[in-house]
Structure 1
Amino acid sequence: MGDAKRKSRWWIWLLVGLVALCGLPVTLLAWGAYSISESARTQTVDCAKAMEFAHGRLPADAEDARCTGTHWQDSYITADFRMPRADVADWLRTTYPEGKPSIGCDKDLCVSVDYDQALYVDVEVVYEGSTALVHLSSYDM
Structure 2
Amino acid sequence: MTLTPTETVAEQAEPGRTRWGVFLAILAVPTLVVAALLALLIAWLFTDDSVAADVKKTSCAEALAFGGAKLPAGARDTWCGLQAGPEPRYEARFRMPRAEIDAWVAAGFPQGPKLRTTQCGEAQVDACLNAGPVAGERAFVQIEITHDSRKWSEVRFVAFTG
TM-score over 0.5 (shorter chain): yes
Percent identity at matched positions?
26
Deviations along 1:94-124, whole A, 9 cap, x unmatched?
A: 1122224566213111011101793100000
Whether the aligned pair in 1 keeps the contact of 2:105 and 2:114 (CA below 8 Å) is: no
Whether 1:126 aligns to 2:141 is: no
Equivalent residue for 1:136? 157
Return the alpha-carbon distance in structure 2 between the equivalents of residues 62 and 121 of structure 1: 19
Opposite residue 111 of structure 1, the aligned amino acid is: L
* 2:75 corresponds to 1:55: no
- Residue deviations 1:65-105 (CA, integer Å, cap 9, x gap): 10011132111110000000111111111112222456621
Q: Which has the larger radius of gyration?
A: 2
The aligned residue for residue 107 of structure 2 is 94
Q: Does the Cα contact within 8 Å between 1:47 and 1:79 map onto a contact in 2?
A: yes
Paired with 2:145 and 2:99, the residues of 1 have a C-alpha distance of 12
CA contact (8 A) 2:66 2:139 kept: no
What is the distance in 1 between the residues matched to 2:146 and 2:132? 22
The structure carrying a bigger helix percent of its residues is 1
Q: What are the ranges of 5 or more consecutive residues in structure 2 without an aligned counterpart?
A: 1-52
Question: Tell me, which stretches of 5 or more residues in structure 1 are unaligned?
Answer: 1-39
Residues 100, 113 of structure 1: 8 Å contact kept:
no
Match of 1:74 among 87, 104, 107: 87
CA distance in 1, matches of 2:153, 2:115: 17
TM-score (norm 2): 0.58
Q: Counting strand residues as a fraction of each chain, which structure ranks higher?
A: 1
**4+ residue runs of structure 1 moved beyond 3 angstroms?**
100-103
Distance 1:133 1:100 in 2: 18
- Equivalent position of 1:11 in the other structure: none
Q: Structure 1 residues 131, 93: closer, same or farther in 2, change over 3 A?
A: same
Over aligned residue pairs, what C-alpha RMSD do you find?
Answer: 2.0
Structure 1, 109-118 or 84-93: larger mean CA deviation: 109-118
- Give the 3-state SS of the residue equivalent to 2:160 in structure 1: strand
**Distance of 2:77 and 2:54 partners within structure 1:** 23
Is 1:85 matched up with 2:112? no
| Residue number in structure 1 paired with 2:119 | 104
